[in-house]
Amino acid sequence: MQFSKTEAMDDSTKLIESLLERVVEYGKTSYELEKLKALDKTSDIASSFIPHSIVFVLIASFLLFFNLGLALWLGEILGKTCYGFFVVAAFYGITGIVLHFFFHKRLKNLVCNYIIKQVLN
């Protein structure tokens, strides 16, 4: 009779060991899956960030040279080069103040929603 108890204990020990091995394997697999999901999200965000950055640099370069040309042209019209730069600077100062007071929340929500949409895709 004791022999069968020992066999039963061995069987349950093997069953518990098998169950623990499966739990460990499940944990490792779940961890690897989460790593791959995080890598997918990161690469998706980075791959959309790079083209946006290139377009931003091109647009910023265009605006820089356009504003320099505009300031020089206005300076010629107004008689002194520095006056043209003052006019362009005043335009951007007024535009910045208007955007800050009237469109700050709207722009913030727009950017936040865009980031959330990119992360949840």
- Taking only the tens place, the pLDDT of each residue in 10-22 is 777 888 888 889 9
3-class SS of residue 98? helix
Whose CA is closest to 119, among 40, 22, 66, 19? 40
How do residues 62-118 score in pLDDT, each as one tens digit?
999 999 999 999 999 999 999 999 999 999 999 999 988 988 888 888 888 888 887
- Average pLDDT (20-36) is 92
**pLDDT value of residue 77:** 95
Structure tokens at 44: 């998706």
**pLDDT value of residue 80:** 93
Say what the pTM is. Answer: 0.56
